[in-house]
Amino acid sequence: MTGPVAKRVVVHGSVQGVFFRDTARRKAESRGVSGWVRNCADGSVEALFEGDPEAVEAMVGFAREGPRGARVERVDVSDASPEGGEAFRIR
């Protein structure tokens, strides 16, 4: 059994104003993923997904597609250190 993993993603494109953060929160909660998501000043959305490796990969997959209405142009994904959070928050 492996421990939790964490991935940091930065999503570029038309990704603000399309309920990206709220959709990410709902999907993360349903998968038992902790972490956070926030809008950035440059129009991107940044998130940290932490939890079971398969659940985290599912969230990275969501970030590559986005919610309905989003136009994702690029997603930067990097490994991160787990923060030990117990919930998923919108910042």
Q: List residues with catalytic annotation.
A: 21, 39
Nearest to 88 by CA among 2, 21, 43: 21
Reduced to 3 states (helix: H, G, I; strand: E, B; else coil), residue 88 is strand
> In 3-84, which ranges are E strands?
5-14, 34-39, 45-51, 71-80
CB 3 within 8 A of CB 84: no
